[in-house]
Structure 1
């Protein structure tokens, strides 16, 4: 079973006649247990379809399109932890009597780890982060190294492709971004939806700063664990930085698998089915 629904922001609008920000949520399966899965930058909730359909007999997988991605409609030029957490909390509130699992891939992993301290649910079971951004993502890590004062001008430049391409060449020459990032921008900047997605994400992502101590405290308070899955051939991660951030945390297990940055559907399907067996009476 595949369906969808909308989540509308409950945050008061600055202007009464402004359109509503809302997220498009894809639903796969209708199983008893809930999996909320967030995709990475440039993708959409459809990335979770194969996993969701594989788990369909046991799980209902809810995969929102992030703001500026997929079919979601986000009219503000940015968003933060409070707004995005409120959206996720709406999903949790729908299923207070169900066991809930959380999954975040790449940028989605960064967002989940930042939102977790504010999320409340009586049956949160665990959290999985696949190649999470923020700890050492190569193609967005450069954003975290820039002064805040440069991020807004950089976001405005995305509306002028030639200017941002010149900027990307400047950043690459100075070692602030790698060749993959520069080529990625060259390939995509002629696409207007991509430029809108990039600008909105640039303005928003620094509002989700990595905070290992707060993350560990949230896991401990909820009595849950986090598994961080890292592909051993992932070219987009700084593996040493990721290890330094997550391995010291008592509630986190870092597991490496053979693979790149792509979502490992088969490995995740086995993980969730095994987890389900472990928690059944």
Structure 2
């Protein structure tokens, strides 16, 4: 038997507060926490973990209600997920971490840095939720009372394979003359393989129930109901990297520009032609970006005096960057009645 290398990915489990939590772990060195999106699981990071594990201890949990973790009738709010990340890190013996969050996981990552600033060294937001209300209309539909019946249909034999085949067929369709690229079948189904993969996991009744509880905590028929924009100013000393695909049909690319405006010191990396999963579309580039970002930025050390000053001062709109239209959109997102808690 060959020895297990540091970069070999292991699936491990810990029971915390009575619930089993699964996580992938690999590597050694400083801790790097990867948080997946709604309905997904830690396997979504499989193509980037081995490279990242050459430099860091990579921890990729299955959020409660997702993947191999337990799926109780529980609190699936963004703050609750942030608590779960803190608890897992404490159990694993890590008190400092660079956090990478995708989609819902981006909102959880931002909330984690707000709730537990002493833990956070750097922050990477990947197609993150929590900017404006805008979100894919399908998620708005699934948040409504008819969602249970819609998800129940996924359990019927042949439904998921049919969806997969239909999505592949439409995604491969040639561009229709005169139809803008923004609404072409190819672009609308840019992430079809990953989205169908996520849907396939929802055939399990406990998984679909947990998914609905999670979705309804962050989305209703009007769109996203929580925001990170009202706390962006608290990242003033925290190194922040934004990564987005410019053809994202789940969380629009415009959100990247607004987040970059509200976090003026942030870096924005655009994956041209990519959709909602840039780390799966180009895992090599993604891993290199994260490694370079960490190498170039020293870990922030929590300063309680500065934290108190920031919270006392509050948001400073005059520091937002971008054109007038972008800044106005940021102000609207902050003032539209949503909150991070």
* Fold similarity call, TM over 0.5: yes
Maintained 8 Å contact 1:9/1:86: no
- Which of 260, 268, 281 lines up with 2:275 in the alignment? 260
Could you list the per-position Cα deviations for residues 99-140 of structure 1 after superposition, in whole angstroms to 9, with x for gaps in the alignment? 521101122112222332112435x32111111123366336
Higher Cα radius of gyration: 2
Identify the match of residue 121 of structure 2 among 116, 125, 142: 125
1:209 aligned partner? 226
CA apart distance, 1:241: 4.1
8 Å contact kept, 2:130–2:229? no
Change (3 A) 1:94 1:272: farther
- What is aligned with 1:2? 9
> SS at 2:81's partner residue?
helix
More off after superposition, 268-277 vs 38-47: 268-277
CA distance in 2, matches of 1:56, 1:160: 38
Distance 1:251 1:154 in 2: 43
Counterparts of residues 1-281 of structure 1 (less than 5 Å): 1-10=8-17, 20-29=18-27, 31-93=28-90, 100-121=97-118, 124-135=120-131, 138-139=135-136, 143=140, 151=143, 153-154=145-146, 156-157=148-149, 160-161=152-153, 188=199, 191-193=203-205, 195-206=208-219, 209-217=226-234, 219-220=235-236, 223-258=237-272, 259-262=274-277, 263=279, 264-278=282-296
Structure 2 CA distance, aligned partners of 1:96 and 1:252? 29
Structure 1: runs of 5 or more not aligned: 11-19, 163-178
1:79 and 1:112 map into 2 onto residues whose CA distance is 14
Instruction: Give the distance between the partners of 1:57 and 1:158, measured in 2 at CA.
Output: 42
Partners of 1:191 and 1:237 lie apart in 2 by 24
Q: TM-score, normalised by structure 1?
A: 0.71
Change (3 A) 1:79 1:236: closer
Residue 3 of structure 1 deviates from its aligned partner by 1.9
TM-score (norm 2): 0.60
